[in-house]
Structures are given as structure tokens and as C-alpha cells.
């Protein structure tokens, strides 16, 4: 997975832990290269409990690696199942007719 910001490819570290950082951005797991980590406009999702950006995203959940808080990712189905615009106005008009309000 390349750096989400600049597209750089991760190279294997010579030894020890990778300097690349994992984070969650708009509820997708992303990798940030060492160069981009120095920037302050990374726009990563932050934990609602402790404010840490050390999050991991998996199976519809976002887990904080700092404090362990887990929250549900905003499910995309919610957006898809929302009533189409204009429906509530139609229902309102139908109610008006039934109740004789017009
Ligand atoms: Zn980068
Ligand atoms: Zn946290």
C-alpha cells in the first residue's frame, strides 16, 4: 500500500520497526510515509475519546490503539437507505389531504 498522500511506495526497513505510520482517514486504513508524517495537515481521523490518530480500521469498526476505544465506522448503507429527497414532502401532502388540512 503506497502513502495515501504522496503515493510513495513503502520500502522494507533495514532493521527494526517500519518508520511508516498507519492511520485511518475517512474511515479507510491508510499508510503515511516518513516524509508526510512531518506535515500537520494529514487530515487523519482521530479517536473521539483521547484524540489520538493511532487508529486501525477493520470490519466496519475503528479501534484506537492508544486507549482501546472502539466505535462503529459510519456504515455506508445508511446513506443508501435514506429516503430520496421529496418523499417527505409527498407524505406531508398526502397527510394534508387525509386530514383535510388543504
Ligand atoms: Zn507520503
Ligand atoms: Zn483513544
Distance (Å) from CA 41 to ligand 2 centroid: 20
Confidence of residue 77 (pLDDT cuts 50, 70, 90): very low
Of the CA atoms within 13 Å of residue 84, those in its CB half-sphere come to: 1
Cα(55)–Cα(101) distance, rounded to whole angstroms? 53
Ligand 1 geometric centre to CA of 8 (Å): 6
Listed as own residue / partner, the contacts of 39-44 with beta carbons closer than 8 Å and 24 or more positions apart are 39/5, 42/5
Residue 12 has pLDDT above 80, yes or no: no
Q: Ligand 2 centre from 56 Cα, in Å?
A: 11
Q: Which ligand is nearest to the CA of 9?
A: 1
40 vs 79 pLDDT, higher one: 40
Q: What's the mean pLDDT in 73-92? A: 61
Q: Which of 51-55, 58-62, 85-89, 92-96 has the highest mean pLDDT?
A: 51-55
Measure Cα distances from 27 to 20, 35, 67 in Å. 19, 22, 18
Amino acid at each position: 500500500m503506497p502513502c495515501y498522500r504522496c503515493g510513495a511506495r513503502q520500502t522494507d526497513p533495514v532493521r527494526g520497526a517500519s518508520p511508516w505510520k498507519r492511520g485511518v482517514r475517512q474511515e479507510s486504513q491508510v499508510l503515511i510515509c516518513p516524509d508526510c508524517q512531518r506535515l500537520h495537515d494529514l487530515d487523519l481521523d482521530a479517536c473521539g475519546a483521547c484524540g489520538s490518530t493511532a487508529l486501525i480500521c477493520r470490519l466496519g469498526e475503528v479501534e484506537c490503539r492508544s486507549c482501546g476505544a472502539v466505535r462503529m465506522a459510519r456504515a455506508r448503507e445508511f446513506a443508501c437507505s435514506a429516503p430520496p429527497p421529496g418523499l417527505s414532502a409527498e407524505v406531508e401532502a398526502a397527510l394534508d389531504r387525509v386530514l383535510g388540512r388543504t
